[in-house]
Structure 1
Amino acid sequence: MRVTNSMLSNNMLLNMNKNLKKLNSLENTFATGKKIQLPSDNPIVAGKSLKLRTNLYENGQYKTNVDDAESWMSITESAIDNVNGIMARMRDLCVTGSSETLGKSEREKVGEEIKQLREQLVQESNATNAGRYVFAGYKTDKKIMFDANVNQKTKIMDEFGTKEMEQLKVNDNYFYKLPYSNIENTIKVKIGAEDYSVGGLVYNIVEKSSSDSDAYDPPVPGAMKTIHLIKETGELVFNEAQYTTITDPIEVEYEKDGFKPGELNPIHYFDTVDTVTIGGSVGVLDASNQVSLGNIDIKEDSINTITIGGAVPGAVIYGKSTDGISPVLNEVKIDMDTGMITAGPGFAVGASVDIDYYEKINRIEDENIDYEVSKNTKMTINTQARNLITVDMIGDIDRLVHNIGNMDQQNLTEELSSMLTKIDNHSKNALKCQAGLGSKMNRLDLITARLENDKINYTQLKSDNEDADLAETITKLKTQQTIYEASLSAGAKIIQLSLVDFMR
């Protein structure tokens, strides 16, 4: 085969480019310190590198979550520790105050310090982390206890049992102290099938003042059953004869208009009721003769002025989807759980459903703030207010403060002595919260150590997978430079020959 000059030149350039490409690849490896520059250089190394980088990013996020959780828990631990200190000091004061040798002025000093401790509870309950209230569950922008007068009207739903009632010392009747005083006279009490209200014909609630001679002595139940409401103290008083017939639970619903400093924020402790104003159509009936209110937990008998296609239903049934009840003719069923309105066959598909307003219940639930601290592992970082600063704790302290200023010395001595057991119970509850929090913080320490080890391991594996051996790379680079320079030298000798050289 005849070898031409152009063939020599082309082959020389081809081989020179191959050497240059290898040299360039080694120079890039040396400059970046990485084995590959593109996924196509080595797909296996690239794939493994992506997985290891993902592991490192995840590990970093878990570490951030752990740091945030530790910060949250540290603030919580400090507040709980202070609550324990407050309870311990109150116990000491009750022991001191129960001494019969103490004079009136000394007892007043004891009462004043208890008041200050009560105010400090407000500060501890409203502890914050980065502007979020740590005991507030999901409602981190809402205070646990009010620290100023708040003009807010709230409808509250609660229940209690006979075990939570106390027997009066002046007679054998029983009373229950509501969490709030100065409530509206729209209060309703339900005991089994008995519905009590102010001015009720059979089941009556009578508003009384603590100064009334019969305030704590409601009449013996007969044709009418009566409960006394002491408005300024928020006490419900039951006749002894009625108490023996009560079946738990006792449901109570009342409105509180305005809150004072130191009072509990009801949204963290009780079911509350909101009024949802529609003032028109909520939608039209679909093919199943249904339309949704768009809310759940609808309050029974709360829908005001409902019309379908301009017509008033013959009956409005409040029920649940599981009760098996279906509306007939021109009846309407309200599913209180789902908020679904179902019209009877007497109403046409496509008819507009109009409502003035209705009420929905905001249920108090466990609002656990969970942080993912490692793969598929979540931890609840928060302590909810109602588990630490309980309704009973605040009620007992308020009652103690009130009694110190209003009881005679003998009864006050007994009251302070009986308060010791209650304070001990509240202290045990706070210690329980603290112990649970401490165990979580200890676990976070172990998780932190493991995440640090994982970071070291992932970083080493990533380095082994994608980082170049610089000593080896430099050796190869020097060798390739020599090869490239040799190819340039050889090529120069070939290219310098011309036609004139061959004609000589």
Structure 2
Amino acid sequence: MSVRVTQNMLNNNMMRNLNNSMGIMDKLQEQLSSGRKVNRPSDDPVVAARGMLYRSSLMENSQYQRNATDAQSWLELSDDSLDESTNVLQRIRELLVQSGDASLADDSLKAMGEEIKQLKHQLGSIANATIGGRYIFAGTDTLNAPYQGEDFVSTNNSEIRLEVSKQVYVPINVNGQSIFNKQDADGDNVFKLLDAVVGKLAAGTPANDMLGKMDFQMDNLMAERAALGARVNRIELVQERLATEEVNVCGLMSTNEDADIAEVITNLKTQENVHRSALGSGSRIIQPTLLDFLR
């Protein structure tokens, strides 16, 4: 059975098609002005969902990079502090060797003792090094100075860990117990050893017989610095990987969301021509009425 096509049906179809054409041009124009294929989730739910995933990955990556930067700051300050400690102990060792010179007078030995006493205070200041108001050699008890009353009093050896990748935690602090409270065979740490050295020199007695104990402390310090250096290298590798991952995720997000401007312009021009053709054909579809002949 044939369907009767009326003028009203032609008019309605023409208007609907023109509206659809303008809707397509509006979408293309929005892509061109924003530079994005998707401006709302309804444009493409799959692309929008991927975009949310990529943004979450970038946020996580940014936090991991901040953690890695904090870790690097802690480790670099720790390394600088241990380097200064090495210089202090090296100077003390030189004085111990000099104190064995039999030609030295008691006043010279006492002067050496005074210098070592000051070097001990400097070593204590190093043990109390801080970053952001937190003591780096106090374990997790970062608000209390580990060196007090002429000795290293902290007993906290817990690690401070930061997450630098998913489920990857790196200790950022150096165990102060292993450095400043390392006890020799006689149960003396480095500060008690220096007190004994100062006591001998103040009494006018050479202290070169304590070179073995001093070498023990220096060897221990060098071993801790080597372990710290390995951690610094690891953090640098982590930072490089995070930077590469950030670039990759940004590239994926751009591929997923950014519009191909050349393609959009071409499609827009094509749709403009289609729309003009639709307007031209529509003007011919609308038939003249009886009023047009009454003029």
RMSD: 2.0
Deviation at 1:465? 1.6
Deviation at 1:44? 2.4
Question: Which residue does 2:231 correspond to in 1?
Answer: 440
Q: Deviations over 1:6-36 (max 9, x none)?
A: 3222112111110011111111111222222
Where does structure 1 lack aligned partners over 5 or more consecutive residues? 147-259, 270-363
| Correspondence for 2:197 among 393, 400, 412 | 400
Cα separation, 1, equivalents of 2:287 and 2:97: 112
1:263 and 2:263 aligned:
no
Question: Which residue does 2:125 correspond to in 1?
Answer: 123
Cα separation, 2, equivalents of 1:491 and 1:439: 77
Cα separation, 2, equivalents of 1:109 and 1:100: 15
Q: Deviations over 1:113-148 (max 9, x none)?
A: 1011011012111111122111122121111213xx
Between structures 1 and 2, the one with greater strand share: 1
Deviation at 1:497? 4.2
Deviation at 1:49? 2.2
Cα separation, 2, equivalents of 1:88 and 1:373: 36
Pick closer, same or farther for the CA change 1:20–1:422 going to 2, 3 Å.
same
Question: Which residue does 1:451 correspond to in 2?
Answer: 242
Secondary structure in 1 aligned to 2:163?
A: strand
Question: Which residue does 1:142 correspond to in 2?
Answer: 144
Question: Which residue does 1:41 correspond to in 2?
Answer: 43
Cα separation, 2, equivalents of 1:452 and 1:76: 24
Question: Which residue does 2:254 correspond to in 1?
Answer: 463
Counterparts of 1:90-489 in structure 2, within 5 Å, are 90-146=92-148, 260=149, 262-264=150-152, 266=153, 268-269=154-155, 364=156, 366-390=157-181, 392-406=189-203, 409=204, 412-413=205-206, 416-489=207-280
Counterpart code for 1:41:
D
Q: Deviations over 1:240-265 (max 9, x none)?
A: xxxxxxxxxxxxxxxxxxxx4x333x
Deviation at 1:495? 5.8
**Is this contact kept in 1: 2:54–2:249, CA < 8 A?**
yes
Secondary structure in 1 aligned to 2:173?
A: coil
Cα separation, 2, equivalents of 1:503 and 1:494: 21
Pick closer, same or farther for the CA change 1:489–1:419 going to 2, 3 Å.
same
Cα separation, 1, equivalents of 2:286 and 2:29: 27
Counterpart code for 1:464:
T
Aligned residues: 287
Deviation at 1:502? 5.8
Q: Deviations over 1:247-305 (max 9, x none)?
A: xxxxxxxxxxxxx4x333x3x22xxxxxxxxxxxxxxxxxxxxxxxxxxxxxxxxxxxx
Question: Which residue does 1:355 correspond to in 2?
Answer: none
1:31 and 2:38 aligned:
no
Question: Which residue does 2:87 correspond to in 1?
Answer: 85
Where does structure 2 lack aligned partners over 5 or more consecutive residues? 182-187
Q: Deviations over 1:378-435 (max 9, x none)?
A: 11110122111116111111121122223xx4xx22xx12211111111111111111
Cα separation, 1, equivalents of 2:59 and 2:274: 42
Question: Which residue does 2:19 correspond to in 1?
Answer: 17
Cα separation, 2, equivalents of 1:502 and 1:493: 17
Cα separation, 2, equivalents of 1:502 and 1:400: 124
Counterpart code for 1:481:
E
Secondary structure in 2 aligned to 1:102?
A: coil
Counterpart code for 1:263:
D
Between structures 1 and 2, the one with greater helix share: 2
| Correspondence for 2:78 among 76, 79, 97 | 76
Q: Deviations over 1:288-339 (max 9, x none)?
A: xxxxxxxxxxxxxxxxxxxxxxxxxxxxxxxxxxxxxxxxxxxxxxxxxxxx
**Is this contact kept in 1: 2:151–2:192, CA < 8 A?**
no
Deviation at 1:470? 0.9
Question: Which residue does 2:185 correspond to in 1?
Answer: none
Secondary structure in 2 aligned to 1:372?
A: strand
Secondary structure in 2 aligned to 1:459?
A: helix
Q: Deviations over 1:471-494 (max 9, x none)?
A: 111100111122223333444555
Q: Which has the higher contact order (CA 8 A, sep 6+)?
A: 2
Secondary structure in 2 aligned to 1:71?
A: helix
Cα separation, 2, equivalents of 1:427 and 1:60: 39
Secondary structure in 2 aligned to 1:421?
A: helix
Deviation at 1:440? 0.5
Cα separation, 2, equivalents of 1:450 and 1:499: 78
Identity %: 36
User: Runs of 4 or more off by more than 6 Å in structure 1?
Assistant: none
TM-score with structure 1 setting the length: 0.54
Secondary structure in 2 aligned to 1:35?
A: coil
